[in-house]
Amino acid sequence: MQVMALALRTRLFAWLLPHVPGGTIAGASPERIAQMQRGMLRDTPLTRVVIGHPLPGVAITDSEVAGADGALRARRYHPDGDRADLPLVIHLHGGGWVRRDLIAMDWLLSRVARAVPAVVVMVDHRVAPTHRFPAAVEDAVAALRWVGDHGRQLGGDPTRLAVMGDSSGANLATVAARLLRDRGGPPLASQVLLYPPVDLTGDVRSLPDGSEAPILSHEAQRTFGSLYLGAADPSDPRASPLLAADLTGLPPTLLQVGDHDPLCDDVRRYAQALRRAGVPTRATIYLDAIHGFLSFSGVVPAARQAAWEVVDELRRHLAG
């Protein structure tokens, strides 16, 4: 499908982003990457036009959870009210294992918190290149275990626990789910994976017509993979979950991806592999949607429908 099929506002945004300082990490120097990591996404009216506003009726607070090598920042979304029996959802943020813009998912995660309803905890894992693979993987596992042990302190019910993530965070989410299966839990009721990179071994992907993908270009894919893996083996299933020998026993899974995302084919392959392993799996390809589209709800029309599919999936598996 040609990129010109995208909505006008999506095309304009995809063209503009690489021209904004800090808009893309592709080809950036180590000094520039460090500068970008220090500068969080600013919460301004213009920013909110692009990423969307958090839903009223949800308290958003910053706290900490335990990681594999010390405390990690976390952002908690709790629907208004005094209920302490809500399920818990841990979200692992995207950014190519390198960036961390924590407010980018306020729009989605506040809706998950209020509509499921659930307590949502977004974890800020360690990032490359300072902390290369598998540091983020071990942080994800440690954070899930910590929430499983201390969920009551967060105002939720740790016996009803789900994991979700977007982009690189979805990679970490499904890898952590498999490692928790092998390391004694806690058990997960669901995994929600938004456009995950699941195979880091092959050539960078392009659109079916061979054109460059908006947001996740060839150069961006190479840059993120190199910064994250360093000299590590990309076929390690902790990096490429599609290559894991055993996917049985993973929780029911929702996969979402856009048809203009170069990861679309790999997401389809992962869905097929999960189904062959007996994992209940739902995979949805959204039309006229780019990589990361749930972080850009103001410029990608498909984001709203995708958000409610996420809510519906979590409701079904986390109901008391």
Residues identified as active-site:
167, 261, 291
CA distance 277 to 31: 44
Runs of H (alpha helix) within the chain: 8-16, 30-38, 45-51, 106-115, 135-150, 168-182, 218-229, 264-276, 302-318
Closest residue by Cα to residue 120 from 206, 192, 201: 192
Output the six-digit token pair for 134.
Answer: 């598998």
The helix (run of H) or strand (run of E) holding residue 268 is helix 264-276
Instruction: Return the closest-CA partner of residue 66 out of 178, 130, 150.
Output: 150
Q: Which residue has the tokens 């894991």?
A: 244
Please say whether the dihedral angle defined by the alpha carbons of residues 269, 272, 277 and 279, taken in this order, is positive or negative. positive
For residue 58 the two structure tokens come to 């949800």
**Block residue for tokens 């990423």:** 51
Q: How far is CA 270 from CA 100, 176, 196, 260, in A?
A: 25, 16, 9, 18
Single out the residue of 214, 210, 236 nearest to residue 225, CA to CA. Answer: 236
